[in-house]
Chains A and B, each alone.
Chain A
Amino acid sequence: MTVEGEILLEARSLRKEFGGLVAVDDVNIQIRERTLHSIIGPNGAGKTTLFNLLSGMMRPTRGQVYYRGRDITNLPPHRIAHLGIGRSFQITNIFPNLTVLENIRLAAQALGKDNFRLFRPAGSFRQYEEKAYAVVKRVGLQGREFDLALNLPHGDKRKLELGIMLAGEPQLLLLDEPTAGMSSEQVPALLEIIHSIMADGDKTIVLVEHRMDMVMSISDRITVMHQGQILAEGTPQEIARNQTVQSAYLGELYGDLAADLEDKDGQR
């Protein structure tokens, strides 16, 4: 298991209300460096909303977000991206009419210093293109570089979604259901990518996911959300055994998962 490091990201009594609805209810959460931290919880628990707050997409009603000790609560999303926080979306969010390569190249270019070069061809900035190729390879989209993104099968779109995020070389990755809509056959490939990211050694991942077997097998820590609040937090084993979690989220069908997990851990 990876070593737990410093606190990288921290939310302090973060709250988001939509009209009367409290989607995120005074959440305190700490993400430590170089961990894979999963957030699970029933639908509507507020996971995506929490991501939206952390990445600057939405402004919290109240509360703060700190990144490496710095208050980033009200920074616009592009500034937050520049700090090294990347995110992927639950609903695929790519540039449909651009090629795969261009999708990723744009993301690679975003954090460079050449965005405002108006009179030099983009192609002459080799560094971004090279980086883009590297990312394409990493997410396994070789051979499709020049396909338009909208023509990709769903699974590949999810990979591209990931690639766009990776190209920005974020330190902290917020992944919102990366397997959403993928068939089970495609999941292992994705797991592979996640593993390789963690293998870099300097990355931190926050993952939202409903596939329990996957969550249980790869997470260092798991936070369970329910109705906007944090219900429990702990290691996968702790969570799997947690009665509250079982009744609120996992249900009977997965009751035996805990036992399952014990073996798996051994193998890893």
Chain B
Amino acid sequence: MATTKTETQNLSLKRESPLNRLRKEWAGVLILLLLAAFPFLFAWFSGTSVTDGPSRFWQGLMITFFIMAVYAMSYDLLIGYTGILSFGHAAFFGGGAYTMALWLTHAVPVISSRYRITLPGGANITEVVLFVAGILLVVLVVTLLGLLFSAASARVRGVYFAMISLAMAEALHILSKATDFVRWTGADEGLHGVPVPAWINPTQNRLLFYFVALAFALIMYLLVRRIVDSPAGRVFVAIRENESRVRMIGYNPVVFRSIAFVTAAVIAGLAGALFSLWNMSATPTMTGAIMTINALIMTILGGIGTLVGPILGAGLMQIVGQFFYQWFGPRWPLVFGLIFIALVIFLPYGVIGTWRQKRYAWKRAIQKMFGKG
């Protein structure tokens, strides 16, 4: 729906000049630049090659982080913004991952061995076309999943829905590991060695994949930010606050919940698809309850109902988890769990939420100290 005119408009409430915007968002831009430069900075500081060894590994870690951040963000769209407690988010992520992996493993080779799609000039673009088709397929599949979930959510509420969603995801999980489909899905082991097209293959060109993932995360972040800030996004929040009242002022919550579900599903599904490309695999873990729980943990850790929160949560979990593993060995989840519990008890609004609150308090304290700054 967005016209060119609106595209140039600001994301925040008031219209501002681009310069002004940049000033407001300097922190974000800086972080983005840092992330973009990260592979080179890391290689430079550690004195290693950008494409090998530890650099490569850290790029990998960051790629996972980017993907998980998007995934957590999509979850927050449901739980934080629309107030839907869903325990089935893995279905979207795993659904996306499996769709992509199955498509690349079983459909693409067959199709590309039979057909060739060329540009008028003669360039062979079969691979690209099929890849794009794969993405569209992912979107289609997870949209259907999202609609299924929202249909259920129209009928049952609260913890009952949480349980239903858990069950629906579990059903998908069971399908993904059912031996009946072992020829296609690899059952328990999952699909490995998915033939990812060379131009986006993470083992062949890790650095490129890093930027793809970064761009993906950025685009998704901007997209979600837009959605959250859009008229519809505001209605999501209203539904979270008081659904019956939303209906009484003239919105149809079923429709808006469906929108929320489908958007969250598509974003999570795309994250899943990218994850399957990144790992060149699709495994039952990706559809399992742990995957949902991860989303929940990342979201709450960072701060529910914010966009930066889930991203930060994903970062904490991926990056800090890595360090913990190094420091504490295989029992690191013990330490992580303890810290985690302490955080939940003492930082009730997540890292970001608490920071925002405190920031306000600090500001006031400072104002007080200097007699109204």
A–B: direct contact at CB < 8 Å? yes
- Do B230 and A97 have beta carbons less than 8 Å apart? no
Instruction: Tell me the minimal C-beta distance from B147 to chain A in angstroms.
Output: 16
Q: Is A69 an interface residue, CB under 8 A from the partner?
A: no
Q: Is B322 an interface residue, CB under 8 A from the partner?
A: no
Interface-located stretch among A31-39, A115-123, A260-268: A115-123
B214-245, CB < 8 A from A: 223, 226-227, 229-235, 237-238, 241-242, 244-245
Q: Is A214 an interface residue, CB under 8 A from the partner?
A: no
- Do B11 and A121 have beta carbons less than 8 Å apart? yes
Q: Is A77 an interface residue, CB under 8 A from the partner?
A: yes
Bound Cα distance A168, B247 (Å): 12
Tell whether A77 pairs with B248 under 8 Å between CB atoms, given A96-B242, A118-B1, A124-B15: yes
How would residues 243 to 262 of chain B score, 1 for a CB under 8 Å from any chain A CB and 0 otherwise? 01111111111001001000
- Do A119 and B2 have beta carbons less than 8 Å apart? yes
Bound Cα distance A57, B229 (Å): 29
Q: Is A95 an interface residue, CB under 8 A from the partner?
A: yes
**Max count, chain A CB within 10 A of own CB: residue among B232, B237, B246, B253:** B232
B230 proximity list for chain A (CB < 8 A): 117-122
Q: Is A107 an interface residue, CB under 8 A from the partner?
A: yes
Tell whether A118 pairs with B238 under 8 Å between CB atoms, given A76-B247, A110-B249, A168-B250: no
- Do B227 and A119 have beta carbons less than 8 Å apart? yes
B151-206, CB < 8 A from A: none
- Do B13 and A123 have beta carbons less than 8 Å apart? yes
Q: Which residue of A lies closest to B11 (CB)?
A: A121
Bound Cα distance A102, B15 (Å): 18
Bound Cα distance A78, B25 (Å): 38
Instruction: Tell me the minimal C-beta distance from A227 to chain B in angstroms.
Output: 27
Instruction: Tell me the minimal C-beta distance from B259 to chain A in angstroms.
Output: 7
B12 proximity list for chain A (CB < 8 A): 121, 123
B241 proximity list for chain A (CB < 8 A): 95-98
Instruction: Tell me the minimal C-beta distance from B274 to chain A in angstroms.
Output: 21
- Do A55 and B248 have beta carbons less than 8 Å apart? yes
- Do A110 and B6 have beta carbons less than 8 Å apart? no
Q: Is B331 an interface residue, CB under 8 A from the partner?
A: no
Bound Cα distance A98, B12 (Å): 17
Bound Cα distance A98, B223 (Å): 23
| B238 interface neighbour in A81, A95, A165, A167, Cβ under 8 Å | A95
Q: Is B10 an interface residue, CB under 8 A from the partner?
A: yes
A109-132, CB < 8 A from B: 109-111, 114-125
| B13 interface neighbour in A95, A119, A121, A165, Cβ under 8 Å | A121
Q: Is A241 an interface residue, CB under 8 A from the partner?
A: no
- Do A118 and B249 have beta carbons less than 8 Å apart? no
Bound Cα distance A52, B245 (Å): 13
Tell whether A110 pairs with B234 under 8 Å between CB atoms, given A93-B245, A118-B263, A122-B229: no
Q: Is A12 an interface residue, CB under 8 A from the partner?
A: no
**Max count, chain A CB within 10 A of own CB: residue among B1, B13, B238:** B238
Q: Is B114 an interface residue, CB under 8 A from the partner?
A: no
Bound Cα distance A121, B231 (Å): 7
A94 proximity list for chain B (CB < 8 A): 242, 245
B86-139, CB < 8 A from A: none
Interface size class of A (residues with CB under 8 A): 35 or more
- Do B9 and A121 have beta carbons less than 8 Å apart? yes
| A123 interface neighbour in B14, B247, B256, Cβ under 8 Å | B14
Tell whether A81 pairs with B248 under 8 Å between CB atoms, given A93-B242, A123-B12: yes
- Do A117 and B232 have beta carbons less than 8 Å apart? yes
Instruction: Tell me the minimal C-beta distance from A93 to chain B in angstroms.
Output: 5
Tell whether A118 pairs with B227 under 8 Å between CB atoms, given A106-B249, A164-B249: yes
Bound Cα distance A117, B3 (Å): 11
Instruction: Tell me the minimal C-beta distance from A83 to chain B in angstroms.
Output: 9
Tell whether A121 pairs with B10 under 8 Å between CB atoms, given A98-B237, A98-B238: yes
Bound Cα distance A119, B253 (Å): 19
Instruction: Tell me the minimal C-beta distance from A241 to chain B in angstroms.
Output: 37
A167 proximity list for chain B (CB < 8 A): 249
- Do A106 and B11 have beta carbons less than 8 Å apart? no
- Do A116 and B242 have beta carbons less than 8 Å apart? no
Q: Is A82 an interface residue, CB under 8 A from the partner?
A: yes
Q: Which residue of B lies closest to A119 (CB)?
A: B2
Q: Is A87 an interface residue, CB under 8 A from the partner?
A: yes
Bound Cα distance A96, B242 (Å): 8
A123 proximity list for chain B (CB < 8 A): 10, 12-14, 229
A106 proximity list for chain B (CB < 8 A): 234-235, 238, 246, 249
Bound Cα distance A232, B235 (Å): 42
A119 proximity list for chain B (CB < 8 A): 1-2, 6, 223, 226-227, 230
The 4 A-B pairs of least Cβ separation, nearest first, read A81-B250, A123-B13, A95-B241, A110-B250
Given contacts A120-B6, A122-B230, 10 further A-B contacts (CB under 8 A): A78-B247, A93-B245, A102-B234, A106-B238, A110-B250, A115-B251, A121-B9, A121-B13, A122-B13, A123-B14
Q: List 30 interface pairs A-B (beta carbons < 8 Å), by A numbering.
A: A77-B247, A78-B249, A78-B251, A82-B250, A87-B248, A94-B242, A94-B245, A95-B238, A98-B241, A102-B234, A106-B246, A110-B249, A110-B250, A114-B231, A115-B231, A115-B232, A116-B259, A117-B1, A117-B232, A118-B1, A118-B227, A118-B230, A118-B232, A119-B2, A121-B10, A121-B11, A121-B12, A121-B13, A121-B229, A123-B13
